[in-house]
A and B are shown apart, each in its own frame.
Chain A
Amino acid sequence: MDTSKRSFEGAGPSGPPMKRQNDSGGVEELVDEQFEGVPENLEDDGEDVDVRLLEEDLELHLGEAGRNWKRPDPPPQDPATDSLAFQQLDVDYFIGPPNQQLYRTDLSEVPILRMYGVTEQGNSVCTFVHGFEPYFYIEAPRSFGPDDCDSLSAQLNRMLGDRNSKGGRQSKFCLGVQMVQKQTIMHYQPQKSRAFLRITVATPNLVTQARGMLEHGVNVDSLQRHMSFVTYESHVLFALRFMVDCGLVGGNWVELKAGTYNVLNLEDPRKQSHCQLEAHVHYSNIISHPAEGDWLKLAPFRILSVDIECAGRKGHFPEAEKDPVIQIASLVTEQGQSKPLVRNVMTLDTCAAIVGAEVMSFAKEEDLLKRWRDLVIETDPDIIIGYNICNFDLPYLIKRAETLKVHDFPYWGRNRKMRLRIRDAQFSSKAYGTREYKEITIDGRIQFDLLVALQRDHKLSSYSLNAVSAHFLGEQKEDVHHSIISDLQAGNEETRRRLAVYCLKDAYLPQRLVDKLMYMYNYIEMARVTGVPMSFLLTRGQSIKVFSQILRKAREKNLLVPNQPRMQGANGDGVAYEGATVLDAKQGFYKTPVATLDFASLYPSIMMAHNLCYSTLLPPDRVKELSPEDVLRCPTGHCFVRVSRAKGILPEILEELLGARKRAKADLKAATDPFMKAVLDGRQLALKVSANSVYGFTGAVIGKMPCLEISASVTAFGRNMIDHTKKLVEERYQRKNGYEADCDVIYGDTDSVMVHFRVKDIGHAMELGREAADFVSKTFVKPIKLEFEKVYKPYLLINKKRYAGLLYTNPDHYDKMDTKGIETVRRDNCQLVRTVVTTCLEMILINEDEEGAKAYVRQTISDLLMNRLDLSLLVITKALSRADTAYAAKQGHVELAKKMRKRDPATAPTVGDRVAYVHIKAAKGVKAYDKAEDPIYALEHNLPIDFQHYLDHHLELPLQRLFAPMMNNPKELMCGAHTRSIALATPSTHSGGIMRFAKVRLSCLSCRTPLPPGVSDLCEHCRPKEVEMYHRSLGAVNELEQQFSALWTQCQRCQGSLHQDVLCTSRDCPIFYRRKKVQKDLGEAHMLLQRFPEW
């Protein structure tokens, strides 16, 4: 539904990590990408009934399925002779009674893993994996012998038993302690391995408990000593543990060889899932195929795209406790197909038919919900997508069903007896900021909320579905205001049909966006590269991905990852290290080419070149133990062993990632099949992102494995390299060395250096750039490489992190205009600023017409002051993110929302909406926050716009910044003749104030002398100018008539109907205000024209 789409705007990109209330203890704990809290917490309190299988069997009476709903029937499968291969998409586990056939045990409850996937034929598979036991490691205490294992095991068993006595059924908790030879990943370890204890427990939640006990300290019975331990790999999610151990990566193909598994077919009553095939297997019999060659393909999995509409009450955002769900649109698409298989809309109350879609109408909301549940079960989607579904649509449905007491509604997960579960969660990450969200567990069906994905991957000025579709698909979306939705619902079957069409369109857009942005390919490849399940990619941050890779690599090397106690002062400000360096910008407008030298993958290559890793770090006290040639001392003073001594695993991971990327790129070039291309492109992108996130992982203070020695060293090397490059380049490219001119490094930032060679020719600058890059590269350790990438000409350098230029990668023509940090996209600006800045940049850079740009600015300012600009350019929007009582300081948009609620509660913005406003003029002393006004209201009531405010507060600063490198006094632009004539709107009588007592008398259209009664157009003296004045009025009318027509017919095209009025109230659409303003202006212009009498 439309309100949902506006309910949140992207969280700030780098907000500080927030405190979070820990569910279990109420202890405030600082977390980054907290993951213990997520599925594990269900285990932490063993009383969560929902997780267990429900006792009573849920009887689903499915209705007759619609066209294309069902998956094709699976071919007969004989587990003795046929192997079963499928692409697994999700892995989870549950606690249940053991399958004695595959896993002999005397435990009453064991963890059973489930892999959900799809076969090549498009059949859904759920594989139950038995026999995989949770475990972790501790370092074996000195003098601990193999004989002590049983004693420790018994002791742990007893202690865990005490804590879980009320559980009752379970007979054993600790399954065993085993001595193994491993080594820790932390710090350089000269000896190959030492003794560790592997502790195996019955269920995953016991890992957390046992870890807690061991970390806090226990009296080890056999040694008669109180000891506390560092635990290893005790913080690995159970599902990830399984995947790592079995060599599974997210989204890869899995095969069960004939004779190693058994299978339940479609109609088997013992089946626990809704999948077509249900297999049971012991974990040791799983064959995981790396995503290569034939196993690169994607299975034809099913994607369900959903949108719901609710009938909100006037002035309120819909609440599941009160407002009914009136429509649910569902589209099912098979991966790889361009058209959906199923287009269905379910409506409350009758609805006229829709061409090309199934319409199902229901008299009772309960029936609607149930039927939709059945649709999900029957169409059996693997992935559920939508726009803001995780925070709105899906929780709303579940809560609504709860309110209506439809108890059998929340069972559309893949497991027959498993309820869907919702909990509030918070996600906080340095890279993505903090946001609150609802976590819904739908077993076996991945949720892919496009809003979340877009907020992660793209910086946009607005994330409304309308803005997003305008940005990516290049089309505006019809936006029906929620107050109208209720009216349409209350109308007849035709109006409901109207709504249903709108709802279907909204459900289709996410699918089209997913296709357009190739999300399925990119995300599956990301899962394959980093080894985490797909579902982690949206709900977790960057670090789990790196962590998964480190775990895999460490396992290969027989290394263990310690669970580090949280770092001291880990509240984000205690431990800080110096970041990247930014060279001072030499402000100016450079008309000759500026070459840019970039370090390719700067941080990864530093880590590789200098062998920086957890496993190569030398604690200061141990530096002396090694010969100096084996030790690398970083600019920060930290020491690492050199490659000759031991190769770090981070460098190795990075080498593999970058090597794989090179291969993927080469394959991409060679590939001809578009699907293959999409997959490979997704892969190379995923590899690049992954390589770059390794550095961040080591620097995330509140992450899983922060190691500031590494991250600080990396940045220190980076800084040195930038300075070094600057020095080398400036020394070499000088007249005295035979070059044309003395070069100048004008700017440098993190991984790039801008060199002004002072040559005229672009080609020449490129040559010099290439030569300089090679020359400087030679002085660095491999694989660090300085690359020449591009030339800017002209180049406008404003200050640090703000520049613009025309980018050339070949000397003949420019590729694009490149800007950074300039007000071309910022969302809190009005469109005017964006338009003016962009146009100026185009004139300055592309046309090289500085004077023209200045003239344009003056003209625009004059147009602004004369009220000749399109109103929508002046509209500012801000999100009303909280209830207005929650805002401490008064703010314009909040006050306006209050005002609007008094005027008409139905259309007033509610929490989550964006409030659009313009600044109006008001009497002296009126507070700034009272000057915000609804643009439509201001238009209708002739409220004067405060143009000066826009000039002073919106235009002035960006323009001064922009022109500062080009002129001595950019303030000149803001004053002068063009600012002297201004338009004053005549307040209308109903705007109140003194105008209520004023008498309107017509004045001459030319000279404004009051006219005698009976004359409406011109005074005596101006009569000769009649034709001229008439023409001018006519010109205005004609201009507006054309706009009126163009705007309203465009809206008709957008809504896709000629015979129905346009309802759209999308305030994000650039023409929304404009068409309104034109309507009004045209009426006025016409009135003026009418004042010329017909003789």
Chain B
Amino acid sequence: MDVDLEGPTGQPAALDDMMLGTSDDDAFRLQRATATYINKDERFRIEKRTYDNQYAQLYYCRLLKMAPRLKQRIEKQWPGVAVTKILDLPENQEVAVVGTLYKEMKLKPSILNEYNKERGIETLTGHTGFVSDDDSLVLEDESARMALRGIDAGQLVTGVVAAVRGVSVANGEFHVKDILFTGPQLQQPLLEATDGDKYVALVSGLSVGDEAGEPARVALLVDYLAGLLGSLPEQEQVAKVVRTVIAGGLLHSMEPLVQAAPQAKQRQQAAALVPIKDMDVCLTQLVGAMDVDVMAGATDPANHALPQQALHPCLLPGAVTFPTLHRVTNPHEFEVDGVTFLGTSGQNLEDIDRYSTETERLPMLERLLQWGHLVPTAPDTLTAYSFPDHDPFVIDAAPHVLFAGNQPAFATSLVEGPEGQKTRVVCIPKFSSSGTLVLVNLRTLKVQPITFDARMDI
């Protein structure tokens, strides 16, 4: 991992330390820093939904939007190579073709298998990983497909728009010499910070209601962000946190509620509601202290398909009374003091993990920036809304911070683009398993993981 972290790293803030430092006087003196905030979620919000559309439009819009970018790159990277459509492919001549990749995978689960006669025999063997050695790629442009050879399908996934350079041979296959993606798009310049360091806190996977979890740790987190914990220097730093973004995973699971049958016992129902109430209590405390963006995640009570819409207010009766609660979409894009953030609650990486040979999350996230697309595997293997006229997941401008929530471990890097773009890429670990919160410095784009440990044995 690129060591671009700031502050005291490696040493988890120990419980004792925080308990000791609690000093009411200091806390009252500290004023929380402020910053300008622009929400850019418009394109992820869907007011009126219809389900008459098929998915072809979404792919088509994606290709339409990204093809010109690729053509520009081809001019720069492969000067002199002609760009052609698949239908006009000349034989034995080197050309470039732009299209959407589709990965043929024999292990890819299909809903048709439900109907196969021999049910029960093909039990799901290992839920993750549908990758096999003979996975292959095809490239599809507006009107045709061709099989690609000489390219490793492993790390690529369906839905990525790419340009390939190579030669078409008689049997209709295309021998690839090189492949090109849009790369990071232009970036809005960072403003010169005038008032020192400010931070945005990124956290995900609180997993309220997880019986195996440590509720105390969530309480610590909230107290910490609210400035109720730690020694003075720490509180001073916390005061500079202008905003917290919860990148999904508030609840551990929404299964119990959905499963509770209508005739189920009153008590059972009440029990199922407890985590939601707990979540509201937590959030209420936090929004009392600062602005909080709440994104829904895979386990949260929001619609399943991407983009996930904001949580319904009835779920957070306490927190919604505060104007500092911002119920936002997943993916979520916003700007704080001119620093642009773009990220998801992690479903995109989760899905790529299943369908590619890449095992590390950070390179996956970096690759999204190269691919110029936030959720390439939607809608093929990741449920998404069938947008009729645009693809909101195309990354139009390289953000300053690209994040994904609910990741197995914390990881970060700084990716620099060819036009001097700099993007801080952050895998936000699941808080319930790592106890880690990530602070992003708006001035330097440096990050600082802060780990809480609430175990009493220390």
Contacts and interface: CB of A to CB of B under 8 A. Distances in A.
Interface stretch (B32-40, B50-58, B406-414): B50-58
Interface in A1031-1052: 1031-1032, 1034-1035, 1037-1038, 1041-1050, 1052
B381 interface: yes
B56 A1027 contact: no
A232 B386 CA distance: 76
A516 interface: no
Interface in B87-127: 87-89, 100, 102, 110-112, 114-117, 119-120
A1092 B313 CA distance: 10
B313 A1094 contact: yes
Nearest to B158: A1058
A497 interface: yes
B393 interface: no
A497 B272 CA distance: 55
Contacts of A1057: 56, 140, 145
Contacts of A1050: 110-112
A353 B88 contact: yes
Contacts of B232: none
Given A1027-B314, A1071-B111, A1095-B313, A1041 B305 contact: yes
Among A1031, A1046, A1056, find the residue whose CB has the most chain B CB atoms closer than 10 A. Answer: A1031
A1034 B302 contact: yes
B379 interface: yes
B60 interface: yes
Interface in A292-308: none
B266 to A, nearest CB: 11
A1059 B382 CA distance: 17
B50 A1083 contact: yes
A131 to B, nearest CB: 48
Interface in B53-104: 54-57, 59-60, 63, 86-89, 100, 102
Contacts of B392: none
Given A355-B146, A1086-B51, A1027 B273 contact: yes
Interface residues of A, number: 55
Nearest to B270: A1028
B220 interface: no
Contacts, number: 153
A1047 B111 contact: yes
A1059 B276 contact: no
A586 B146 CA distance: 61
Interface in B356-395: 379-384, 386
A1071 B273 contact: no
B171 interface: yes
A1049 B140 contact: no
A1079 B100 contact: no
A356 B52 contact: no
B143 interface: yes
Contacts of A1095: 313-314, 320
Contact of B301 (A474, A1031, A1041): A1031
B47 to A, nearest CB: 10
A1086 B254 CA distance: 18
B56 A1028 contact: no
A67 B305 CA distance: 48
B258 A1031 contact: yes
A476 interface: yes
Given A1059-B59, A1092-B314, A1034 B145 contact: no
A609 interface: no
A354 B52 CA distance: 30
Interface string A337-363: 001000000000000111111000000
B455 interface: no
Contacts of A1094: 312-313
Contacts of B415: none
Contact of A356 (B112, B117, B172): B172
B152 interface: no
Nearest to A474: B116
Interface in B120-163: 120, 140-146, 159
B29 interface: no
B56 A1059 contact: yes
A1070 interface: yes
Among B60, B379, B384, find the residue whose CB has the most chain A CB atoms closer than 10 A. Answer: B379
A573 interface: no
A1031 B254 contact: yes
A643 to B, nearest CB: 48
Interface in A476-532: 476, 494, 497
B315 interface: yes
Among A846, A1049, A1062, find the residue whose CB has the most chain B CB atoms closer than 10 A. Answer: A1049
Contacts of B273: 1027-1028
B56 A1062 contact: yes
A1071 B112 CA distance: 8
A550 B115 CA distance: 47
A474 B118 CA distance: 12
Nearest to B173: A356
A519 to B, nearest CB: 22
A1041 B383 contact: yes
Contact of B305 (A339, A1045, A1062): A1045
A840 B87 CA distance: 52
B257 interface: yes
Contacts of A355: 86-87, 89, 144-146, 168, 172
A494 B172 CA distance: 18
Nearest to B48: A1090
Given A1038-B303, A1070-B112, A1030 B315 contact: yes
A1086 B49 contact: yes
B140 A356 contact: no
B192 to A, nearest CB: 39
Contacts of A1044: 51, 383
A1016 to B, nearest CB: 13
Interface string B307-318: 000001111000
A969 interface: no
B187 interface: no
A1027 B275 CA distance: 12
B52 A1079 contact: yes
A1068 to B, nearest CB: 11
Contacts of B55: 1048-1049, 1052, 1058
Contact of A354 (B54, B144, B269, B303): B144
B258 A357 contact: no
Contacts of B260: 1028
B111 A1061 contact: no
A464 to B, nearest CB: 15
Contacts of B446: none
Given A1027-B276, A1082-B51, A1049 B379 contact: yes
A494 B143 contact: yes
A1045 B301 CA distance: 19
Contact of A1058 (B140, B168, B386): B140
A842 interface: yes
Contacts of A357: 172
28 contacts: A67-B170, A339-B171, A352-B143, A355-B144, A356-B146, A846-B120, A1026-B314, A1027-B314, A1034-B258, A1034-B303, A1035-B257, A1037-B303, A1041-B304, A1042-B305, A1047-B111, A1050-B110, A1050-B112, A1052-B380, A1058-B55, A1058-B159, A1059-B63, A1059-B141, A1059-B143, A1070-B112, A1071-B115, A1083-B50, A1086-B49, A1095-B320
Given A352-B143, A1059-B140, 7 more contacts: A357-B172, A1028-B272, A1038-B303, A1038-B304, A1046-B383, A1058-B380, A1095-B320
Interface of A: 67, 339, 352-357, 474, 476, 494, 497, 838, 842, 846, 1026-1028, 1030-1032, 1034-1035, 1037-1038, 1041-1050, 1052-1053, 1056-1062, 1070-1071, 1079-1080, 1082-1083, 1086, 1089, 1092, 1094-1095
Q: Pick the 8 closest A-B CB pairs, nearest first.
A: A356-B172, A1035-B258, A1045-B383, A1038-B304, A355-B172, A1031-B257, A1058-B59, A353-B87
